[in-house]
Amino acid sequence: MSTPSLQRRLGLADAVFLGLGSMIGAGVFAAFGPAAAAAGSGLLIGLALAAIVAFGNATSTAQLAAVHPTSGGTYAYGRAELGPWWGFVAGWGFVIGKIASCAAMALTFAAYAAPPGWERPVAIVAVAALATVNWFGITRTAQLTRVIVVFVLLTLAVAVSAGATAPDAPGWLAPGALWSGGWYGILQSAGLLFFAFAGYARIATMGEEVRDPARTIPRAIVLAFGGALVVYALVAVTVLSTLGPAGTAASTEPVAAATAAAGWAWAEPVVRVGAAAASLGALLALIAGIGRTSFAMAREGDLPRYLAAVHPRWHVPHRADAAIAAVVIVLVALVDLRGAIGFSSFGVLLYYLVANVAAFRQRGDARRYPRALQVVGAVGCVVLGLTLPWQSVLAGAIVAALGVGYRMLRLRLTRAA
State the DSSP H helix or E strand holding residue 258, giving kind and residue range, or none if neither. Answer: helix 254-261
First and final C-alpha spacing in the chain:
22
Residue 210, classed as helix, strand or coil, is strand
**41 C-beta neighbours (distance < 10 Å), count:** 27
pLDDT value at position 279? 84
Q: Exposure pattern of 191-220 as b/e (b: 16+ CB <10 Å)?
A: bbbbbbbbbbbbbbbbbbbbeebeebbbbb
312 by Cβ neighbours in 10 Å (0-12 / 13-18 / 19+) ranks as exposed
pLDDT value at position 207? 62
- d(CA 103, CA 9) in angstroms, rounded, equals 28
Q: CA angle, corner 58, sides to 396 and 26, nearest 5?
A: 55
How does DSSP classify residue 118? -
Contacts of 330 (CB under 8 A, 6+ apart): none
Per this entry, what is the length of the chain?
Answer: 417
Q: Minimal CA–CA distance to 377: which of 76, 64, 26, 40?
A: 64
What does the domain layout of the chain look like in residue ranges?
12-416
12-416 homologous superfamily:
Amino acid/polyamine transporter I (1.20.1740.10)
| DSSP-assigned states of every residue in 79-108 | HHHT-HHHHHHHHHHHHHHHHHHHHHHHHH
Q: Minimal CA–CA distance to 352: which of 64, 152, 15?
A: 64
Q: How many CA atoms lie within 13 A of 374 on its CB side?
A: 19
- Cβ–Cβ under 8 Å, residues 181 and 40: yes
| DSSP-assigned states of every residue in 348-376 | HHHHHHHHHHHHHH--GGG--S-HHHHHH
- d(CA 96, CA 198) in angstroms, rounded, equals 14
Contacts of 216 (CB under 8 A, 6+ apart): 10, 11, 12, 15, 210
Q: What is the pLDDT along the chain (417 residues), one digit of tens a residue?
A: 455 656 676 788 888 887 787 777 656 777 898 899 999 999 999 999 999 998 899 889 888 888 887 766 788 899 999 999 999 999 899 889 989 988 988 988 888 888 888 989 999 999 999 888 777 755 555 677 778 788 888 999 999 999 999 999 998 988 888 998 899 999 999 998 987 787 666 676 666 677 887 778 888 888 888 888 999 999 999 999 999 999 999 887 888 899 999 999 889 899 888 888 888 877 877 787 788 778 888 888 888 888 888 877 777 788 888 899 999 999 998 888 778 888 888 999 999 999 999 999 998 888 988 999 999 999 999 999 999 988 999 999 999 999 999 999 989 988 887
- d(CA 166, CA 193) in angstroms, rounded, equals 25
User: Could you give the C-alpha distances from 208 to 7, 136, 203, 317, in angstroms and in order?
Assistant: 7, 17, 10, 12
Residue 398, classed as helix, strand or coil, is helix
pLDDT value at position 1? 47
**367 C-beta neighbours (distance < 10 Å), count:** 13
How does DSSP classify residue 28? I
Q: Strand runs (DSSP E) across 87-214, as ranges?
A: none
